Amino acid sequence: MPTTKKRFAVITVIGRDKTGVVARITSFLFQQRANIEALEEQVTRGQFSMTVQTSWKDSQLQRTEVEAGLRQLASDLEMEITVRFTEPRRRQRMAILVTRETHCFETLLQSTLKQAEPALVISNRRELEPLARQHKLPFVHIPWEDRPTAERAALAELAKHEIDFVVLARFMKILSPNFVWRYKHKIINIHPSLLPSFPGPQAYRQAYEQGVKIIGVSAHFVTMNLDEGPIIAQDCFHVRPNMTLKEIVAAGQRLEARTLLKAVKLYLSKRLDVYWGIVKAV
């Protein structure tokens, strides 16, 4: 028997919390003969966010009507509603956000990811532009002095390039909830400590000053809380006697690159689920 081709989309709804939003969206999708495969919604400090994964039989999808109807709902509800149509069998399009450190960026570019392709590089500095151009990748420089303006520009670039997920390869800026909500459990970061210990940008120095004997790194999904997202992968190394801070940083950076790559591969394997803030293999 031939299989029926399906079409998929991810719908994101963001705005001030109000009653009836979930019912309005799901009722509309039902009218459009969509199958709701997953739905997540939350309210934080009065801000509502919802992600809906939907599918249609190919013959039943009226894409123009779906897009127009969601635009009308966004206007009626005074909320932001975006829809991203996806093809589950195509390679995932990955955006890499960087600042000026090369170790994680180079490892991602040099690795063969069968299920993903680097499609965009965004940076708040220009130092890594030659490296991106060398790999024939679009490079977008966005100054980050004003975060709301910078994030709007970054989100526009992600939409323009049809990005599926984001990797922070030592991107040294904090993303706001406004940004993170749009890519829930689709932003992967690497942090230079065994979280939850030593959050923030000076983790190696803190570990060195505290005299810890084992130092590690953590790859995690980004959430609204700094360096507290669900952990995907971790690794560590022993601190040798008389090891200098410079040597610790060098060893940590090598480990960061390997662990971030491991986390990306785990994410692409589609064997991860986040349940009550904990990443589980499925």
170-207 pLDDT per residue, tens: 999 999 888 988 888 889 999 888 766 666 667 767 77
Residue 203 near residue 182 (C-beta atoms within 8 A)? no
State whether 105 and 27 are in the same domain. Answer: no
Residue that terminates a domain, selected from 67, 86, 105: 86
Longest dimension (CA), the chain: 68
Residue that terminates a domain, selected from 70, 86, 102: 86
Per-residue pLDDT at 214 exceeds 70: yes
State whether 152 and 248 are in the same domain. Answer: yes
Residues of the domain holding 70: 6-86
| 15-54 pLDDT per residue, tens | 999 999 999 999 999 999 999 988 888 887 788 988 898 9
Confirm whether pTM is higher than 0.75: yes
State whether 227 and 268 are in the same domain. Answer: yes
Q: Would you say residue 109 lies in a domain?
A: yes
Active site residue 76: no
State whether 55 and 141 are in the same domain. Answer: no
Q: Would you say residue 81 lies in a domain?
A: yes
Query: What residues form DSSP beta bridges with 117?
Result: 93
- For residue 274, what are its two tokens? 């986040």
CA distance 190 to 182: 20
Number of domains in the chain: 2
Per-residue pLDDT at 10 exceeds 80: yes
**Which of these is catalytic: 17, 76, 164, 227?**
227
State whether 277 and 154 are in the same domain. Answer: yes
* CATH at residue 198: 3.40.50.170
State whether 82 and 96 are in the same domain. Answer: no
CA distance 207 to 247: 13
State whether 129 and 253 are in the same domain. Answer: yes
Residue that terminates a domain, selected from 45, 71, 86: 86
* CATH at residue 71: 3.30.70.260
Query: What residues form DSSP beta bridges with 58?
Result: none
Residue 167 DSSP one-character state: E
pLDDT for residue 142 = 98
| 217-238 pLDDT per residue, tens | 999 999 876 667 788 999 998 9
pLDDT for residue 195 = 61
CA distance 282 to 277: 15
